[in-house]
Structure 1
Amino acid sequence: MRTRDSSLFFYSAYLLAYAIGWGFTFNLGAHVFGLRDLRWHYVPFFLLPVLNIMFYLRFLKLEQYHPGLAKLSRGLIALSLLLLPSCFLVLSYAHTLATLVIGLFVTLAFVSGIVVWRKGFQPARFFILAFLCLLVPALFILPANIGLIPDLVSNSELWTLMGGTLDGLLLAFALAERINQLEREKDAALLEANRALTLAHTDALTKLGNRQAFERDTERLLSDGALISVDLDGLKRINDLHGHTRGDALLREFAASLSVLPKTVSSYRLGGDEFVILASIADVSVIQSELERIEARLRLEGFPEAGVSFGVATVTETDEG
């Protein structure tokens, strides 16, 4: 089975926008593709919050863990898209507006990661480290970008690029852990489904297959197969004389005794004192002998009223034709 998570798509789109944005910053667009229109320079940076918020809303399951932060995050998506046209309408303000939006986005993502991690979502720890790599340089670089403080570091673009690269790498680790978690959840769900299916086809008292299991398995009964119908005689008398607790003990003892039959046979309790055994024709004589021994053993084990009667029906290739 394949693990599908839409957060993978938004993570990939975020990395693509990140690469395009920094490609413009280092003039790769101009040198390689001849794109010198500055109006497109800031578009990827306005899209970074949009794509990453779409990623972490799903990755952190933020709607489940903290609906309030999820609502704020969607509001920031709307703000980023609302301010994006500034790249074309008021280019001189685009740098400042992009800086403000990115600052808000990094802070909100970091807070969301901490909140979700503290609520027990373990993959969030890599997410927190990822945004810490963005937040630390952002504390020094973003305020300087809008003139609030003087430049405290040289080559600020390089430091920001390094922080963003570490962010992308750690987010990949976070996604890998999330995928592993999804696989574990899927395996646990399959195990639980198989357990429930087994219980649905098991007689609670004797732990043999029940009527549903018998009906399922008879559909796969091959040619040269045999169906042995067994009645546990004396059960009603024991219930009447000694109570149902003693009768249940007889049923369990008889079911346990069937374990001596060949491993290739399947035993079922249809209800009450009715049992069925599916086997190959070659095993019928062995089963008949064992049922006679089981009857004698039950009487020796304190059930003198008990008896075992049975009949055999066979399926051959001629019958199937």
Structure 2
Amino acid sequence: MMVPLALLVLGGLAAAMAPRVLTRADWPDREPVLALWVWQCVVAAVLLCCALAMSLSACAAWAAVRGNVFAPAPHGVVEAYALTAYGSWAAPLAVLLATGALWTAAMLTREVRAARARRRRLRADLLVRSPLLPGEERGGEPLVVLEGERPEAWLLRAGAAPQLVITTAALRRLQGFQLDAVLAHEQGHARARHDWLLHCSSALANGFPRVPVFAAFRDQVHRLVELAADDSASRRFGRLTTALALVELNEDRGVFGPCPAPFSQVPDRVERLLAATPRLTTGRRLRLTAVAALVPAVPLLVTFVPGLSALGG
């Protein structure tokens, strides 16, 4: 089979089968950071399949592209790919895949701009609700307290250092180290740059809503980053303290009880913290990490095998 078609078949199989395999596994909730790594490797492999297929199709369709891509390669390597035998479909396929790449970049740009606009609105609202005193600069304090009747806490990037914004109602509810657990949870998001993972997953899912792996990637990322931040807080202040902080902040939102709010993950997060399921063994974590790292290498191997075989022969 011609290499671009083999890459597209490989990418299609990964996009269709990976969500089923990963969502049915029982270990991601125990290792959310590892699960995020596996999802990123799978998505990177799918995108790499498309990018390499686009490059080889463009090489087959246009001699100028072929001359630039294969310029340092011996003549035998070019012949090993049989680019001239790809037929008339090479140019339309290259254009189609290039359009997909441009669309992906456009969706990511739109997602980042929308996030920046939301942050600007939050900063403006924060200045209205908590105005600066003469000589005071926003961004120096790690914690900002707002007057509010609802218990709320969120992270605001107001410069180089992120700030935790919390309402007075939340301060009245949180006892002991619960406030520290909330702060550690949000700091876990900031340290791991979960916002970029959320932007990328949303851009792919919104740009290609019919591709199963991208929709599943977005849904799982939104869930796993919260579990990872919960673990970051629980390691410092305990699972019970972190679970109680979640309950205090969300009790009035209707997420608990016989008819919980739809799409709420808070009850499951609280149950997970209280269950204290043990982590995977170190050996299994290392094996999963290594296997996931090899997934993006498969498209590269498929792409370079003809050339390496020609050089070896």
- Give the TM-score range, shorter chain: under 0.3
Of structures 1 and 2, the one with the larger relative CO (CA 8 A, separation 6+) is 2
TM-score by length of 2: 0.26
Which structure has the greater CA radius of gyration?
1
